[in-house]
Amino acid sequence: MGVAKYIKDERGAIKEVVYQSGIKVKPAYGPEDLEKAGFTYEKDLGAPGEYPFTRSLHPQSYRSRAWTTRQYTGFGTPEETNERFKLMIANGQNGLNVAFDLPTQMGYDSDHPLAEGEVGRVGMAIDSLKDFETAFAGIPLDRIGSGLTINAVATIMMAMYQATAEKSGYSKNQISTTPQNDILKEMIGRGAWIFPVEHGVRLVGDSIEYAVKELPKSNPVSLCGYHIRESGATPAQEIAYAFEIAKAYIDNVTNRGIKPEDFVGRFSFNFNVYGNLWEQIAKFRAARKLWAKMLKNEYGVTDKKKLFLRGLFGGGGSGLTKEQPENNIMRGAYYALGAALSGAQTTALCSFDEAYTIPTPRSALLSLRTLEMLMDEVGLRDTVDPLAGSYFIETLTLEMEEKILEEMKEVQKWGGMVKSISNGFIQRKVSRQAYEFEKGLQSGEYRKVGLNPEGTPETTDAGNEKTDVELHEYNEEWAIKSKSNLKELRATRNDKEVTSSLTALEKAAKGTENVMPHLVKCCHAYATVGEMAGVFRDAFGEWNEPDFY
Amino acid sequence: MKTKNKIRVLIAKPGLDGHDKGAKIVALALRDAGMEVIYSGLHQTLDQIMQTATQEAVDVIGLSIMSGAHLPICEKLIGMMKEQGLTDVYLTVGGVIPHQDIPKLKEMGVAEVFPGGISFEGITTGMNKLFE
């Protein structure tokens, strides 16, 4: 049943429950469990808004402010995306989370041969600042913050965002952007990497350094346990690996002579709410506590606000099924409940049709309404951390903490995250787990409603399923339009400015100077994403993935 | 049709999409089912896939496509296979493939389609059937 292991007796009663992170769950919990675990209120919880923040980052949590909703949005050309952004904002969404198409994510222009068939397909196509200006036209960039889901070329998109804001009359001090910018995660799962590990990490370091100095309201990195979990990691590994990745970025930036205190407060996180409800809640509570403890004890961070694990806790796509897709609406609601009970500052849901393709406006709004119901109808804003003090939840939170630390120690034993990814240890471990989990799903050991009702493989033949949900359609015209816009841009821009800004970028990339100010200049000159990424490709080369067997 | 003792399969990720969990777990499953499996790694061009398939003398190419671009990619690869004489190799495709696209892919010359949600057994059986 579910993603946990349930061992039953001959009459079907549950004898044993083991969560994915490896924690055995008892039939009942009492005060003796807390005593055995050495639980104390001051040490393990603290008041809401107080160190170690297990309960909440803010004393009043959702009473003072409901969560930010940020549905992942973007497709086609910037015009289509702008329209959808406005629809979501008009319907109460208070942040953006921008989806880019694969050519943009991989640093190719829309007219590159490798972009064929992909322009505007899984996100919007961006070639130059012109496209960014269109995508964000009429969006109040001083009030609406934007997550930019891009990694290998996140530095370029951060520069685009700043340049767009400047062109529309905002100052770089007013804008708030959170590029995903977590390249090490991308090498474990999701796969939109370009450059070798050390250069990838250097670009992340450049963006953090730049944000510290120039973009006071932006958060240059969103550490994504989310995709690591989607790739097959357990909930404990999801947190552990994200923290070990964070340590790799911290090392890069401190080597530039910047103190952790000056930048760790700018990190944000993106975590997954897929799986067993209780395990998720314990995971988030343990993660907030461990992050604060680690920054305080290992990095000497003292300012309370800089110890916050701020993040988007969102519904996981791998929980959705193609079979009986409407079931995903209910699944999303339960994931969102988990996120709310965990005190997520920001949230989003995969829409119910996303097992097929990117969402229609109807399904995206359904997700938004689901999130609203929790805050405005059901009572999740009433009181802070309502599960605190539960014998079960507090015991589980302590056990989760132990499991996360164990997983972190394993990575340290392997020589840290950069090494573990370079030699493929993590990727192999996670893929192997994904395989074992999938086998369990197919054998009926794990249960997914609507997918394996009898637990027989025959019922999972998705090739025979009938879909009657309306689906988002890809439009070939988007690629044609992007290409013709690009052609026009190349003919009308100031070539001299483009060349000189790209030459300066090349010099910075090949040396140690921060690339960010040069990227901003390139963007203002209407250099294309492909041109800027091309400079990086020449300077850094591309990553060779380690074997996964 | 030809019979085989040990089927050699190239699991390949064409194009720019990096979602490789499906490709990797299918590679592991086919290997456990007794096939020889080569995994291409990410971001492969169709030229690279053709080259690996030829060099490794595979019997089947299994493309894993999540981005929605399965129709143009398969069409192009089939053209290249015909052009370059790789006609004794079967092309199969798996991933996020809408039901209504399966007949189109088959018509194009794709030997088998394995949409997301299909069991490992379904894939192994489908692959083996090609050689019965």
List, in order, residues 6 or more apart from B35 with CB less than 8 Å away.
B6, B7, B8, B9, B124, B127
Specify which residues A358 forms β-bridges with. none
Asked whether A355 and A331 are in contact (CB, 8 A), the reply is: no
Contact A122 B67 (CB under 8 A): yes
What pLDDT does A460 receive?
38
Q: What is the pLDDT of residues A104-151, one digit of tens each?
A: 999 999 999 999 889 999 999 999 999 999 999 999 999 999 999 999
Which long-range contacts does B82-90 make (Cβ < 8 Å, 24+ apart)? B84/B50, B84/B54, B86/B50, B86/B53, B86/B54, B88/B2, B88/B59, B89/B53, B89/B58, B89/B59, B89/B60, B89/B61, B90/B59, B90/B60, B90/B61, B90/B130
Substitution target in B10, B24, B97 with the highest count of A β-carbons within 10 Å is: B24
How many angstroms separate the CA atoms of A19 and A4, rounded?
A: 5
pLDDT tens for residues A368-425? 999 999 999 999 999 999 999 999 999 999 999 999 999 999 999 999 999 999 999 9
- Rounded CA gap, B126 and B106, in Å? 14
Tokens of A307: 């110890």
**Does B115 contact A463 at a Cβ distance shorter than 8 Å?**
yes
Query: Residue A355 — pLDDT band, cuts 50, 70, 90?
Result: confident
Taken in order A252, A258, A261, A265, the sign of the CA dihedral is negative
DSSP-derived secondary structure for A481-513: HHHHHHHHHHHHS-HHHHHHHHHHHHHHHHSSS
Nearest Cβ partner for A114 among B18, B45, B67: B45
Q: How far is A533 from chain B (nearest CA, A)?
A: 15
Residue B21 sits at the chain A interface (C-beta within 8 Å):
yes
DSSP A100: B
- The CA distance from A427 to the nearest CA of chain B, in Å, is 10
Predicted pLDDT of residue B51: 98
Helix (H) or strand (E) holding A312: strand A311-314
- Is the model's pLDDT at A342 over the cut of 60? yes
Residue A458 scores a pLDDT above 70: no
| Model confidence at A467: pLDDT above 90 | no
Tally of helices (H runs) and strands (E runs) in chain B: 5, 5
Residue of B nearest to A105 (CA): B16
Q: What are phi and psi of A471, to 5 degrees?
A: -115, 150
For the beta sheet containing A267-272, the strands, ordered from the edge strand earlier in sequence to the opposite edge, are A68-69, A346-347, A311-314, A267-272, A221-224
**Closest B-chain CA to A232:** B21
Tens of pLDDT, residues B47-96: 999 999 999 999 999 999 988 889 999 999 999 999 999 999 999 999 98
Burial A148-157 (b: 16+ CB within 10 A, else e): bbbbbbbbbb
For residues A67 and A76, the answer to whether their CB atoms sit within 8 Å is no
What count of other Cβ atoms lies within 10 Å of the Cβ of residue A532? 27
Cβ of B16 within 8 Å of Cβ of A115? The answer is yes
Peptide bond into A52 cis (omega under 30): yes
Contacts of A340 (CB under 8 A, 6+ apart): A62, A67, A347, A374, A375, A380
**Nearest residue to B16 (alpha-carbon basis) of A105, A245, A67, A511:** A105
Decide if B116 and A548 are in contact by the 8 Å CB cutoff: no
Sorting pLDDT into bands at 50, 70 and 90, what band is A463?
very low
Which of A183, A318, A435, A470 best probes binding to B when mutated, by most B CB atoms within 10 angstroms? A435
Nearest-5° Cα angle at A246, A244 to A247: 65
Nearest-CA residue of chain A relative to B19?
Answer: A190
More confident residue, A455 or A276: A276
Domain B8-129, CATH class in plain words: alpha beta
Return the residue of A nearest to B30 by Cα: A435
pLDDT digits (tens, 9 = 90+) for A475-519: 999 999 999 999 999 999 999 999 999 999 999 999 999 999 999
Number of A–B residue contacts, CB under 8 Å: 115
pLDDT given for residue A246 in this prediction: 98
- pLDDT band for B127, please (50, 70, 90 cuts): very high
Transcribe B51-94 into DSSP letters: HHHHHTT-SEEEEEE-SS-HHHHHHHHHHHHHHTT-TTSEEEEE
Q: Are A185 and A223 in contact (CB under 8 A)?
A: yes
pLDDT band at A453 (very low <50, low <70, confident <90, very high): low
Structure tokens, A425: 């240890």
State the Cα–Cα distance between residues A74 and A77, nearest whole angstrom: 9
Mean pLDDT of all residues belonging to chain A: 94
CA end-to-end span of chain A, whole Å?
30
Instruction: List the beta bridge partners of residue A95.
Output: A145
Percent of chain A with pLDDT over 70: 97
* Chain A CB within 8 Å of residue B28 CB: yes
- Report pLDDT digits (tens) over A88-104: 999 988 889 999 999 99
pLDDT score at A457: 42
pLDDT digits (tens, 9 = 90+) for A61-77: 999 999 999 888 888 99
The gap between the terminal CA atoms of chain B, to the nearest Å, is: 7
B49 touches chain A (CB under 8 A): no
Whether residues B116 and A322 touch (CB distance < 8 A) is answered with yes
Q: A389 to chain B nearest CA, in Å?
A: 38
Contacts of A323 in chain B (CB under 8 A): 117
pLDDT in tens, A424-440: 999 999 999 999 999 99
Q: pLDDT tens for residues A232-285?
A: 999 999 999 999 999 999 999 999 999 999 999 999 999 999 999 999 999 999
CA–CA separation, A135 and A256 (whole Å): 35
Task: List, in order, residues 6 or more apart from B100 with CB less than 8 Å away.
Answer: none
pLDDT per position as a tens digit, A179-209: 999 999 999 999 999 999 999 999 999 999 9
Q: Do A175 and A165 touch, CB atoms closer than 8 A?
A: yes
The reply to whether residue B39 touches residue A102, judged by beta carbons under 8 angstroms, is no
**pLDDT of A2:** 77
On whether the CB atoms of residues A526 and A165 are closer than 8 A, the answer is no
Q: Cα separation of A127 and A508, whole Å?
A: 22
Least confident of A173-182, A319-328, A514-523, B17-26: A319-328
Contact assessment for residue A18 and residue A394, using Cβ atoms and an 8 Å cutoff: no
Average pLDDT of span A455-474: 57
Contact present, A388 and A15 (Cβ < 8 Å): no
The dihedral built from the CA positions of residue A12, A15, A18 and A19, taken in this order, carries a sign that is positive
Mind telling me how many Å the CA of B26 is from chain A's nearest CA?
A: 8
Q: What is the CA radius of gyration of chain A?
A: 23
Q: How do residues B105-123 score in pLDDT, each as one tens digit?
A: 999 999 999 998 899 999 9
Contact check, Cβ <8 Å, B67/A466: no
Contact across the interface for A465 and B99, Cβ inside 8 Å: yes
Pick from B20, B98, B119: CB nearest A460: B119
Residue in B21, B27, B120 closest to A232 by CB: B21
Considering only CB atoms, A102 lies closest to which of B67, B114, B122, namely B67
Q: A1: pLDDT confidence band, cut at 50, 70 and 90?
A: low
Q: Does B9 touch chain A (CB under 8 A)?
A: no
Say how many C-beta atoms besides its own lie within 10 A of residue A483's C-beta. 17
Q: Give A-chain residues touching B14 at CB under 8 angstroms.
A: none
Using CA atoms, how far apart are residues A453 and A224, in angstroms rounded to an integer? 32
Confidence of residue B3 (pLDDT cuts 50, 70, 90): low
| Cα(A161)–Cα(A151) distance, integer angstroms | 14
Statement: the pTM of the whole predicted model exceeds 0.90: yes
Q: How far is A520 from chain B (nearest CA, A)?
A: 26
Closest-CA residue of chain A to B123? A461
In contact, B95 and B115? CB cutoff 8 Å: yes
